[in-house]
Chains A and B, each alone.
Chain A
């Protein structure tokens, strides 16, 4: 039928010399699909010169086999039936290119992820594999040689999120001489790590290892740091992203402020009165405040929702007077939009802690002495609201503390995943609480998970320190005393699964080891960067093993807990990996793109312009030739979706690699029984 349309004739019989290769993938495919039968079947298809099955086609000898056959049998088309093209299409294209064949004369079909791993009936799975092979053989005859497109890469990088992941990635890139924009939503960088007291299992002081890196970010000439800022728009594609960053007003000019903090001192509020966000409301701050002593930038911020001037317009503005000649305070400031161009983006937006109010049985918000682990981090921190003294709400020192593990994690009613860090930080908190207060500490755990360098040793150390471990999931926390020893205490009711009995443990303080979950606005962030989420809402990596920091959007990389719960070393390692991926892109200078772009058959185009409104990239424009208007596609802008191709009423826009004929052949191929 295509020949009648006068386009892309099928090569005449004999011209196609096709090699078909059916991979066993060890037993992954061969256990379900009769690979020998598929190869025997393929051998009978028109145009097929060689058909083989092979144990591991992606291995070196497997690739050599392809190359050898291409030379010996003068093959000009290759069909590989193996795993998903998302995994190994690149490998096989490379292999046949090395043998001198154009890499796009390959058709790969997926008989592992989409056949052997999802079907059990050997006969029907084999039938399906044969159908797919037949379709591929028909399709590949239509393939034509194509050349890769090269798109230049803008050397600047955007890092979103100024936690330890974003900080490390930004410093790595800046250190390599690249210009980096680091965007942070909070008034200071530092993220969750800045809130921690010590880090497990080495008990390094979190601030001591983090703050030098924070200052380095501020000082680095290659890093543009924008705090109180959010990315609000992303357009473009790998190498050429156009990004809009909205910078919310701080009301104090970073370029003029010397960080003397006299304005805070001078505020008409003599005492700090408002809940302090950084200390999770455990401390107080003024309307003009520095988020925490080591904040970077070391510039105060004014909260307009509590500042008298913003609320009534009738403040004495003592802060402005205190600032004097510096004139750093600008109460008229408004938001500002920065427009930048970058070649790659690292998303390091972190996590949020599970809100235990969702589990009312644990009494968070009901009993004042039930805390989250993050609140305890602030309470034991010497720059925290109690200057490092662990005290109950009434000022007493606790003599017994219960730490409940897995709050919100490994729970069918809440989050099903293990948050990975809670066992270890609970051990750390148990150690710190015991060290600071001498209290009896009880850990209530489901399983102790200590897989990491020095982790198990730390657990053993805690056992020796006399911390109690009770294996069981706490049913409830209550203040209902059943005997005098429980009066005035919080009682944890738990089944001790090692003793096989229900126990009641009275304590003064309960710590909920809350899990990690995606930010509540992760969905919007995901959409903005055009990346995917896994089922639980963390950002999805391109491949769980082999591309753990890449995404399905080229040039967008992931680092830290936005991709899934992880500890600080893993976060830093991932941030380094993301920076390296971005560097590799920048230093190559260009990216090779699959040539799946659309093109116009000019003599058939009537110039109706239907396609123009279809293109989300404005890649199609009109051009005149001999007084006749026709569409033309800019291949650099075209991303290869093919929407215009499906729209063209005269079939005069076509798509490389996904030509109508190729798809028709494939469709007919899966249906027809030759």
Chain B
């Protein structure tokens, strides 16, 4: 076992292992991740979960900070619309997400690197699918490597 010290693991092997910071709400998506565990589902070990009480707590600065510190992707997980433990925090998260995604695109950040997903407490399978899918997509994009030398992504090319 090599303890992680010194350089990041992405330089170690041939395959690029992206690191994804995930902000999960306490009541739905964090529980879905717990359920994935108790169901012994297997998914890519590339995500690092930061628990918040509600997806509405996710300040756009958290996302920017994660990218600034070298995250290759950021995932926000909240309750399905209408299911928020705090009634409507997920709607607030959604509004911010759209604005922030646009801003990130203007900075040249590919949209696949930043996702908002609704995953309920019973959706362990979905959590697994979302994480694996995101890891694959970000892996295909390669390391984030900061904002330098990035061109804005044209509106027309956006999904």
Contact = CB atoms under 8 A, between A and B. Distances in A.
Contact of B45 (A112, A119, A534, A664): A119
Nearest to B7: A673
A645 B57 contact: yes
**SS class of chain B's interface: helix, strand, loop or mixed?**
loop
Given A84-B34, A85-B51, A121-B45, A641 B69 contact: no
A132 B122 contact: no
B96 A646 contact: yes
A50 to B, nearest CB: 18
Interface in A623-674: 639-643, 645-647, 655, 658, 660, 663-664, 666-668, 670-674
Nearest to A86: B34
A642 B53 contact: yes
B34 A532 contact: no
B92 A672 contact: no
Contact of B50 (A642, A646, A647, A667): A667
B1 interface: yes
B122 A534 contact: yes
B42 A120 contact: yes
**SS class of chain A's interface: helix, strand, loop or mixed?**
helix
A414 interface: no
B6 A40 contact: no
A310 interface: no
A122 interface: yes
Contacts of B36: 113-114, 117-118
Interface string B115-158: 00000111100001000000000000000000000000000000
Interface in B38-75: 38, 40-43, 45, 48-54, 56-62, 65-66, 69-71
Contacts, number: 169
A671 B59 CA distance: 18
Interface in A587-620: 596, 614, 616
Contacts of A527: 82-83
A671 B70 contact: yes
A639 B34 contact: no
Contact of A646 (B21, B59, B70, B88): B59
B3 A41 contact: yes
Interface in A175-229: none
Interface stretch (A123-131, A396-404, A507-515): A123-131
Interface residues of A, number: 61
Given A118-B42, A527-B83, A671 B66 contact: yes
B77 to A, nearest CB: 12
B57 A672 contact: no
Interface in A512-562: 527, 530, 532-535, 540, 552-553
A641 B91 CA distance: 13
Contact of B3 (A40, A112, A533, A640): A40
Given A135-B48, A643-B86, A672-B69, A552 B59 contact: no
A377 interface: no
A660 B52 CA distance: 11
A573 interface: no
Given A114-B49, A643-B92, A667 B62 contact: yes
Contacts of A552: 27, 31, 85, 121
A86 B5 CA distance: 30
Given A110-B34, A643-B54, A667 B65 contact: yes
Name, among A40, A120, A640, the residue most crowded by chain B CB atoms within 10 Å (CB to CB): A640
Name, among B40, B87, B96, the residue most crowded by chain A CB atoms within 10 Å (CB to CB): B87
A494 B111 CA distance: 55
B47 to A, nearest CB: 8
A125 B57 CA distance: 28
Nearest to A614: B92
Is the interface on chain B under 10, 10 to 19, 20 to 34, or 35 or more residues? Answer: 35 or more
B50 to A, nearest CB: 5
B86 A616 contact: yes
A642 B52 contact: yes
A34 interface: yes
Contacts of A40: 3
A663 B76 CA distance: 14
A671 B62 contact: no
Contacts of B92: 614, 643, 646-647
Contacts of B51: 85
Contacts of A322: none
B8 A673 contact: yes
A34 B1 contact: yes
A406 B32 CA distance: 30
A277 B79 CA distance: 38
Contacts of A114: 33-34, 36-37, 49
Contacts of A596: 53
Contact of A641 (B5, B48, B54, B62): B54
Interface in B11-44: 17, 19, 21, 27-28, 30-31, 33-34, 36-38, 40-43
Given A540-B121, A553-B85, A667-B66, A113 B38 contact: yes
A422 to B, nearest CB: 24
14 contacts: A37-B3, A41-B3, A119-B42, A124-B45, A532-B121, A540-B121, A596-B53, A641-B53, A641-B56, A642-B56, A663-B59, A670-B19, A672-B70, A673-B5
Interface of A: 34, 37, 40-41, 84-86, 110, 112-115, 117-128, 130-132, 135, 527, 530, 532-535, 540, 552-553, 596, 614, 616, 639-643, 645-647, 655, 658, 660, 663-664, 666-668, 670-674
Given A643-B89, A643-B92, 11 more contacts: A84-B37, A110-B37, A118-B45, A119-B43, A126-B1, A131-B48, A533-B120, A616-B86, A641-B86, A642-B52, A660-B61
Interface of B: 1-9, 17, 19, 21, 27-28, 30-31, 33-34, 36-38, 40-43, 45, 48-54, 56-62, 65-66, 69-71, 82-83, 85-89, 92, 96, 120-123, 128
